[in-house]
Amino acid sequence: MFTLLVTMTTTKKLQPKPVRKATSEVTPVTPSQPVVITKQRDFTHKEPVIIPSHLDEIPVISAASYIKDARNRWYIHTVEVKEVWDVHVNLFNNAKPHILKAHDYVVKRYQELTNDG
């Protein structure tokens, strides 16, 4: 004989989250202090540092060349995906009338066979 033991537990009632007020209501907005430039930085263009590869036959490209290459590859990817999308849209538009015609024929034929039986 089996005995079923059921224990009941109570759950803690959840409290609603406090409503946050906008920061301007909590603390008054004070005007910021004026910016004082204490050091002037040199913004002259510097040649990129090319780190030599540990493999002699593999050249290392600069970061600018790498970014340009990545952008070109992304552009090629976008063009190819658009072409694939257009081919699928044309395939769908060309197949749709034939599929609808076949569907209508099957439905009509099924209704004829079930009404005769």
- Burial category of 21 from C-beta neighbours within 10 Å (exposed 0-12, middle 13-18, buried 19 and up): exposed
Evaluate whether residue 86 is within a structural domain: yes
Q: Which of 79, 83, 47, 53 is nearest to 65 (CA)?
A: 47
Residue showing tokens 């409290």: 15
Overall number of domains in the chain: 1
> What is the residue range of 67's domain?
62-117
Evaluate whether residue 104 is within a structural domain: yes
Stretch (H or E) spanning 71: helix 63-116
With beta carbons less than 8 A apart as the criterion, state whether 64 and 72 touch.
Answer: no
pLDDT for res 70? 94
pLDDT tens-digit series, residues 50-93: 777 677 777 778 888 889 999 999 999 999 999 999 999 999 99
Q: Three-state DSSP class for 106?
A: helix
pLDDT for res 44? 77
